[in-house]
Amino acid sequence: MIVILLGAPGSGKGTQSERLTDALDLVHISSGDLFRDHLGRGTPLGELARSYMDAGALVPDEVTIGMIADRLDQPDVHGKGRVLFDGFPRTVAQADALDALLSEIGAGSVGAAVFIDVSEATVVERMAGRGRSDDNPDAIRTRLAAFRRDTEPVIAFYRAQGKLVAVDGEGTVDDVFERIMGGLLACE
């Protein structure tokens, strides 16, 4: 099972990803976590990503896709096809690349793309409480703009394939989790 989690920054993707990977026995691949790991280790990829991340802008597709391709090559994923992608793909080019990568490694295809739908007011409120370095007002604005411009078309991409599971992201973590599980069951 390959599941994608989509949502604006602050929509609760990270929290829900952890619950879902436990419940469904999936490997969690978060592009944001992978970038932060590179940053922390001071790798060349981390250095390259830093300025984009600080500004709240998307890291260029070829860099992001290369990083995901490396992750998919690792033995916990390769050929197994049980993954939850969190924060990737964020552009249609990344979504196309993901389809190609999954078929290359014999991991099947994307089963469902879950979109956690929250209002802009909720997003701003949730991000204000996180205290991450890219959660300052300018970077937040840039990230929301990137979501609208680059990631909303990804939602349309999966909707057109009949794979989109859109859930209301307002309410408690438990409420949203139940909605997602219900949506995934209904689309199986």
* Site residues, ligand AMP (CB under 6 A): 9, 31-32, 35, 52-53, 56-59, 64, 87-88, 90, 94, 134, 143
Burial class (CB in 10 A: 0-12, 13-18, 19+), 121: exposed
Give yes or no: 13 in active site. yes
Alpha-carbon gap, residue 112 to 188, rounded angstroms:
9
Smallest distance, ligand AMP to C-beta of residue 186, A: 26
From 71, 126, 143, 179, active-site residue: 143
| Beta carbon nearer to ligand AMP, 12 or 32 | 32
DSSP-assigned beta bridge partners for residue 7: 116
Reported residue count of the chain is: 188
Give yes or no: 80 in active site. no
Smallest distance, ligand AMP to C-beta of residue 171, A: 21
86-to-2, 96, 110, 137, 150 alpha-carbon distances in Å: 11, 16, 13, 23, 16
From 90, 126, 163, 179, active-site residue: 90
Smallest distance, ligand AMP to C-beta of residue 88, A: 4
